Structure 1
Amino acid sequence: MIFAYNKEHVGDVLMIIVADDKGQENQVKRNGNVAQVSVAEDGQVVAWNIFDASTVLGEIEGSGQVDLTKEQLTKINQEMTKAGFSETLVEDNEPKIVIGFVKSCKKHPDSDHLSITQTEVDNGNVLQIVCGAPNIKAGQKVVVAKPGAMMPDGLMIWPGVLRGVESFGMICSAGELRLPDAPAKKGILELPFDAVVGEAFPVGK
């Protein structure tokens, strides 16, 4: 679940992305300050918009992906109930951009530049991630954007398929993370080996 807010460019609207619409046509149902966005074909809910967000939730800090307090999430659920919706949003405090460890790396069978990695992200959880960086290799500590992450440029990370191989996240470069003095040269960010797998990695906004 991704919370995004950008008053300057979008207005006083909190956008809550809960699933990938995969480019399908959407339909919107609005009651009061709440709009439900779903896929037109099957009705799957993919997002919610909360209008007049600062009135509903109080002050919201940030531009782009934002973190909400438990109290603010409670207010969202109250506003959704008030608007006649039965759904409830559940708190998710799991970090989505974390330190990972590349356990294995092999060439993609249908690409001369892609690699297939098995990358540990936390508590022994291993994700298969297809990576196009020329410097990717086994044994590295890296930064992983897991499914459900929003990158500093607004890109949302969802499971996908690259050249017929499933991929569950993205191994990031310094530029993608908007780190200061990020090198222009292509390649993923390599972290010191004492970096702790599973810890959240701070990114620029």
Structure 2
Amino acid sequence: MIFTYNKEHVGDVLMVIVSDSKDKKLDVERKGNVARVFQLDNQETVAWNIFQVSSLIDIAGRGQVFLRDEEVAVLNQELQKEGFAESLVNDYEPKFVVGEIVELVAHPDSDHLHICQVKVAEDKIVQIVAGAPNAALGLKTIVALPEAMMPNGSLIFPGELRGEKSFGMMCSPRELQLPNAPQKRGIIELDSSEVAGTPFDPAKHWQVS
């Protein structure tokens, strides 16, 4: 579940993205200051818009925001007040973390993609399909996990690339909009001492040259 807020460009609206709509036809049901966006074919909720949200909670920032449990509880009270049965589920786990490529094989249906097994926590390995020319066994980089919002506003969800499942994205400095990022392809390369699962910290993980 992705919480995103941009008062300057969108207004005082908290957008809550629940799942990937996969380009399916959508409809909107609005009650008061709460709007539910759902798929027409199966009625599944894909997003919520909560208008005038600053009247409910203190909120700031631009882009993906992380809320406290008590703030999510207030928003759920608003949903219930308007007659919605569903609830928002808080998720404050880091979405950009250090990852280590622990296995790398060529994609069977591509001349440039690789299927990588990437360690993103002490006890978690995910599969990521990547086309970075510098992807290599043992490389440590920054991984955008599912439900991350990239600096350009694009969202990361589980998907497939040429028939192979992918659960995240290994990021280039340019994609992370880091200062003086090289304008060429290639994921960020971290020192070998970095620990998989460490939350991304630009001040620590990117030295401006």
The TM-score normalised by the length of structure 2 is 0.93
Q: Any residues of structure 2 matched to 1:45-194 within 5 Å, and which?
A: 45-58=45-58, 60-194=59-193
- Give the Cα–Cα distance (whole angstroms) in 1 for the partners of residues 76 and 32 of structure 2: 13
- Give the Cα–Cα distance (whole angstroms) in 1 for the partners of residues 14 and 202 of structure 2: 21
* 1:199 Cα deviation after fit: 1.3
1:57 partner SS: coil
Give the conservation status (yes or no) of the 8 Å contact 2:67–2:92: no
1:151 partner SS: coil
Identity fraction in percent: 53
* 1:110 Cα deviation after fit: 1.0
- Give the Cα–Cα distance (whole angstroms) in 2 for the partners of residues 203 and 68 of structure 1: 21
Structure 1 residue 202 and structure 2 residue 201: aligned?
A: yes
Gaps of 5+ in 1: none
* 1:12 Cα deviation after fit: 0.8
* Cα distance per residue 1:95-146 (max 9 Å; x no partner): 1111111001111111111111000111321111000110001101111111
- Give the Cα–Cα distance (whole angstroms) in 1 for the partners of residues 188 and 196 of structure 2: 14
* 1:71 Cα deviation after fit: 2.4
- Partner residue of 1:36? 36
The code of the aligned residue for 2:96 comes to I
The code of the aligned residue for 1:24 comes to K
* Cα distance per residue 1:70-104 (max 9 Å; x no partner): 22211101111111111122221211111111001
- Give the Cα–Cα distance (whole angstroms) in 1 for the partners of residues 87 and 5 of structure 2: 20
- Give the Cα–Cα distance (whole angstroms) in 2 for the partners of residues 123 and 29 of structure 1: 42
RMSD: 1.3
- Give the Cα–Cα distance (whole angstroms) in 1 for the partners of residues 95 and 44 of structure 2: 23
The code of the aligned residue for 1:11 comes to G
Gaps of 5+ in 2: 204-209
* Cα distance per residue 1:6-59 (max 9 Å; x no partner): 11111111000011110111111111111111111111111111001111223x
- Give the Cα–Cα distance (whole angstroms) in 1 for the partners of residues 202 and 20 of structure 2: 22
4+ residue runs over 4 A deviation: none
1:136 partner SS: coil
The TM-score normalised by the length of structure 1 is 0.95
* 1:69 Cα deviation after fit: 2.2
Give the conservation status (yes or no) of the 8 Å contact 2:116–2:127: yes
- Partner residue of 2:20? 20
